Amino acid sequence: MEIKQHQEGTETLKQCMNNYHSIFENAIESIVVWDDDYHILKANPSTSSCFGYSFEELSKMQINQLETGEEAQEIPERVKSVLEHGQAVYETVLQHKNKTNIHVAVSLSRITWDDREAFCSIYHHIAKTKQDNELLNESEARFRAITDSTKDAIIMMDENGLISLWNPAAEKLFGYTDSDVRGKNLHTLLAPSRYHQQYAKAFRKFQQTGEGNAINSTLDLQACHRDGHEISIELSLSSLHVLDTWHTIGIVRDITERKIAEEKLRESEERFRALHDASFGGIAIHDQGVIIDCNQGLSEITGYSRDELIGMDGLRLIAPNWRSMVKEKIRLGHEATYDVEGLRKDGSTYPLSIRGSNIPYKGHEVRVTEFRDITERRQVEEERKRLEDQLMQVQKMEAIGTLAGGVAHDFNNILSAILGNVDLARNLTPTTSPVAKLLDKALTAIQRATLLVSQILAFSRQEDTKRQLLRVSPIIEEAIKLLRPLLPSTIDIIQQVEDDTETILADPTQIHQILMNLCTNAFHVMELSGGTLTISLKSTELSSEDLQQHPIMNHGRFVIITVGDTGPGIAPEVRERIFDPYFTTKEVGKGTGMGLAIVHGIVKSYDGFITVESELGEGTRFHIHLPAVEQTAPSLEVEEHTVTGGNERILLVDDEEIVADMSRSMLEHLGYKVTVFTNSVEAFSVFQQAPLLFDVVITDQTMPAMTGFELAQRMLTIRPDMPIIICTGYSKTLSEEKAQALGIRGFAMKPLAIKDISTLIRKVLDG
């Protein structure tokens, strides 16, 4: 039974093969089977008779050799269509062996041939005969079968632009049935009204020539659905010339979702580009070190255009000596900000801050780098550092000044005791005694110590000075007269003094001290090599811009004293310390290091400032700037002092017992009757009980429990006419002017010699 069934099946298959072979061999249409490489595998007899080639010739040919040159170029697209849709139907022109053209309709499909994939082309001759028309109808039926089964909307328009073919996919896409649209104008039915006139004009041209911009190309358009909403479509148009008229075939795809996705992508890219270009600083995207995108900020920073930057190696934007470090940072994926030197297009370098990170891009990693030009930030930092250094210098000088003031106070008390006792001993010693000479030397040493304390107080701005209106030029003349005999012949003095310089408010002794200190320093640096000492004086107007380095100064007129030398100059590291007390580069015995500190203190006390110009090997120039005043300087009078005593009763108050004992001895030597207290509270208690018992009160200022000023105030409350003298080593709160304003008749700075105290007592008693 099974053998019989097998035999029957074999017979059936053989019969089918015979039938197929009979159809293939006897078919009127030309049938050609060919492979992927376009080689013809099989052709039926109709093909040989139709095209004039023998079977042997056809077996050695390729399918594109049957078509004319232009039509042959379309074969790859047709193959692509078959691979996508399974079948393609089209018209083309084939070429006979004798070079004549043959118009045919082609049905191209994919088949299996000898167990491998192949293509089958069926060529139908287009003719006007009835038989040809019947064949054409059959071809149209096959074409309809293809159009009905495809997923793409297929629309055909006749020579009048009216719809003649509308497949099911078109019904689904646009909402209209075949009966709704057949015989209607396509663009008035589907195109948005804003495009009607444009499409009508294009179709009129197509009717005449069969040509148009849209033919044989793919367009993205907007179309209208039956319910009124717009949809995005992709339209491929081709022309068909039938019976001397032009027809149009369109294949339509719905790309609404793709358009929405593209629009979102475009908006995203626009937002990214807006942020990209609006970013503060430059941004670059690198792929393997090459810039593939950048913003306008990077162009502005580097001087390159965006076109120049894209495609450039990003390391070219970094100064050469920094590139190895940047490469290592990139290799490690470093993401923190770091500073390097950037390189502009013009070759200039600038401080640059960089921050980079790796991000995924098209399946691999790229690096995004942010560039910031930090030139302005560096300038701000440098200015802040300069101001901080200035502030630290001011604070240091103030701290040293405070310390110096305290030291001077204690030292003055010691000097007061020494000076008083030595001065008293000298007055009690005959001039012819050998002891007198020793005491004179001691007094000279004490005077030098007193001057040193005065310098310390000037540096600390705590010395009570006698300021007056004066011109500086006479003081310069006097200083030069003193200097000439001291300087060797190898040092020349040049004087450049303007006659009409304005006046200043200052102590002439301190101005003289400034000149002598600066000139002495200049002499020391030129002592061995010789040179030129220049002293100049001028007045000038300084604006706020001129005083930027000295923001606490007020703009206006200034008198400028300049002392310059042609010595070796000052090294930068030394220049920063030249105003520090006791700092010196001189040999032992050549100076204490207080000279410039004293000068600095005096100038600051006058609300002035000092600038220094110095280069190694080119000398040094000190410029003293002192505020000018618009008043005339009075002439100076020298006051003579003589030692005069008396027999009045003196109340002496000083908390330092050694000073109190010395002062009593000195006053008693002058003939006065002295009552001494080392406690200001006890002294006030005694005065309160008997205010008329004393003729004059001499009190120290700095004392515990009750200061000399407080003691004087209380005594004057009881007895307003009481002559009171206050003595102090230094005081921040009390000055001679303030003391006099409160009724205190005398004010003296310690230490005091006998002639000084005697003169002051007679002044407050007899004045």
Q: Higher-confidence residue: 340 or 750?
A: 340
Q: Do 713 and 738 touch, CB atoms closer than 8 A?
A: no
Residue 635 — very low, low, confident or very high, per pLDDT cuts 50/70/90?
A: very low
- Maximum pairwise Cα distance, the chain: 174
* pLDDT confidence of residue 676: 93
Residue 12 clears pLDDT 90, i.e. is over it? no
CA dist., res. 296 & res. 304, Å (int): 10
Q: Do 121 and 145 touch, CB atoms closer than 8 A?
A: no
Average pLDDT, the chain: 79
Q: In percent, how much of the chain has pLDDT > 90?
A: 13
| DSSP, res 466 | -
Lowest mean per-residue pLDDT among 123-127, 150-154, 438-442, 655-659 = 123-127
Summarised one tens digit per residue, pLDDT across range 249-300 is 778 888 888 877 777 767 666 656 655 555 557 888 888 889 888 888 888 8
Residue 636 — very low, low, confident or very high, per pLDDT cuts 50/70/90?
A: very low
Residue 158 clears pLDDT 80, i.e. is over it? no
Q: List all residues 6 or more positions away from 33 whose beta carbon is below 8 Å from its beta carbon.
A: 40, 41, 42, 43, 111, 113, 118, 119, 120
Q: Is the pTM here over 0.85, yes or no? A: no
Residue 681 — very low, low, confident or very high, per pLDDT cuts 50/70/90?
A: very high
* pLDDT confidence of residue 637: 44
What order of strands is seen across the sheet that includes strand 338-343?
290-294, 282-287, 364-373, 349-361, 338-343
Determine phi and psi for 624, rounding to 5 degrees. -95, 120
* pLDDT confidence of residue 503: 87
* pLDDT confidence of residue 693: 92
**Average pLDDT estimate for 210-223:** 67
CA dist., res. 360 & res. 449, Å (int): 81
Residue 698 clears pLDDT 90, i.e. is over it? yes
User: 3-state SS of 46-106?
Assistant: HHHHHHCCCHHHHHCCEHHHCECHHHHCCHHHHHHHHHHHCEEEEEEEEECCCCCEEEEEE
Q: Is the dihedral of CA 383, 384, 389, 392 positive or negative?
A: positive
Residue 41 clears pLDDT 80, i.e. is over it? yes
Q: Distances in Å between the alpha carbon of 342 and those of 310, 339, 352, 353, 505? A: 18, 9, 5, 9, 53
* pLDDT confidence of residue 55: 83
Residue 718 clears pLDDT 90, i.e. is over it? yes
Q: List all residues 6 or more positions away from 24 whose beta carbon is below 8 Å from its beta carbon.
A: 31, 44
Summarised one tens digit per residue, pLDDT across range 554-610 is 778 888 999 999 888 888 777 777 776 555 555 544 444 456 777 888 888 888 888
Alpha helices (H) in 151-243, listed in sequence order:
168-174, 178-181, 186-190, 196-209
Summarised one tens digit per residue, pLDDT across range 476-501 is 887 787 777 778 888 888 888 887 78
Q: Which residue has the tokens 């120290």?
A: 700
Summarised one tens digit per residue, pLDDT across range 446-478 is 776 776 666 566 555 544 456 788 888 888 887
What structural domains and CATH numbers belong to the chain? 2-146 (3.30.450.20), 151-259 (3.30.450.20), 279-373 (3.30.450.20), 472-629 (3.30.565.10), 649-766 (3.40.50.2300)
Lowest mean per-residue pLDDT among 217-221, 485-489, 501-505 = 217-221
Tokens at 450, concatenated: 């007193």
542's enclosing H/E stretch is: strand 531-542
